[in-house]
Amino acid sequence: MRILGMVLISVLYSVIAFFAVILLAAVQLRSSGGSAFDTWRLNYDANQLLADDQKKALGAAQDRVRQNRDSLFWVKSCSRLFDQNGIPQATLIDSETADEVKKAKQDQTPVEKLVGDVRCLVRGFTLLQYDKDYYVMLDNDYSFEVEELKKSVALNSEQYAELVKGHQDFIAFRSMASVWYQKPFFDSLYDLLVLLLVMTMGAIGGVVRMLRDYGSSLQPNPSTKDYVFIPLIGTVVAIGGYVLAKTGLLLLSSTKDETSLSPYMISLVGIISGLLAKEVIETISTSGRSILQRSAGGAPQGGGRIEDAPVADPKAGTGQGGAAS
């Protein structure tokens, strides 16, 4: 059982080290863009989605224009069969067409099922004029819609050009995200990757502490549960150490620019937090007390406890001559 446990611990530590290396490489690669890439990616994706929707809407509107103009062309072609008074011109209607029109009217065949001149004659001059006005109105509406969509597409294209301009590295990141094993590192938020890196490095710090105690002749060998709980404690404490560092209480960078934070300095914070968990906890506690005291308006450092109050000298007298007797 002891051998099996050591094998499992060795596998666990190897996995932790592997993920630490992967996360360090990912954060190092993403550090050139930082959180700015996350904001840019959201705008870029929104721009592409909007462009796709606009192109589909434009295509549908253009199809409506074509269909409506086909209908308008049919109505105008029917006008040649009628004179100015709306009476069918007999010279343009052969006997076969006349028979089909008569039969269609007798059978009350729907106009939609008729074709050619038969359909025109069954529809009638008055309704054809109504259809003409209706299709002309639709053509104006559809044409206006197409023009507005073209303006939207052009505006969106200008926004795309602005997004791409000067962001070739972001475009490269976006292309790398199409590879399945790289996608999690480029689709994840940069701050989340940094936090995962800190936590993993905190676990590494706990492992280093275990190895230090195991190889030291001055320290007793760690117990079985320590092999699991100490790296776990390092993972949790590393979060506090990183938050403490981000508040400026520890020096990570000479500038305030977030992208200037070195992934290696961030990793060092995590390792130190895991290796010196007790010291980091004390530092956080001390800093927390200072913040609370300042928030309380300068309360006494001792917290106002009774035992911290000044003690009177018992030899001091209350009267002019000394102690009262």
CB 254 within 8 A of CB 217: no
Mean pLDDT of 306-315: 43
Does the global pTM surpass 0.85? Answer: no
- Kindly indicate the confidence band of residue 310, based on its pLDDT and cuts at 50, 70 and 90: very low
Q: Could you tell me which residues are beta bridge partners of residue 88?
A: 82
46/213 Cα distance (integer angstroms): 53
CB 119 within 8 A of CB 159: no
Torsions phi, psi for 82 (to 5 deg): -125, 150
Question: Could you report the per-residue pLDDT of 58-117, keeping only the tens digit for each?
Answer: 999 999 999 999 999 999 999 888 888 888 888 888 888 888 888 888 888 888 888 888
- Kindly indicate the confidence band of residue 151, based on its pLDDT and cuts at 50, 70 and 90: very high
Measured in whole angstroms, the distance separating CA 104 from the mean position of its chain's CA atoms is 62
CB 100 within 8 A of CB 90: no
Distances from the Cα of 256 to the Cα of 32, 121, 179, 191, 263, angstroms: 15, 81, 33, 16, 15
Percent of the chain beyond pLDDT 70?
86
Q: What's the pLDDT score for residue 315?
A: 44
CA angle 207/212/216 to nearest 5° reads 150
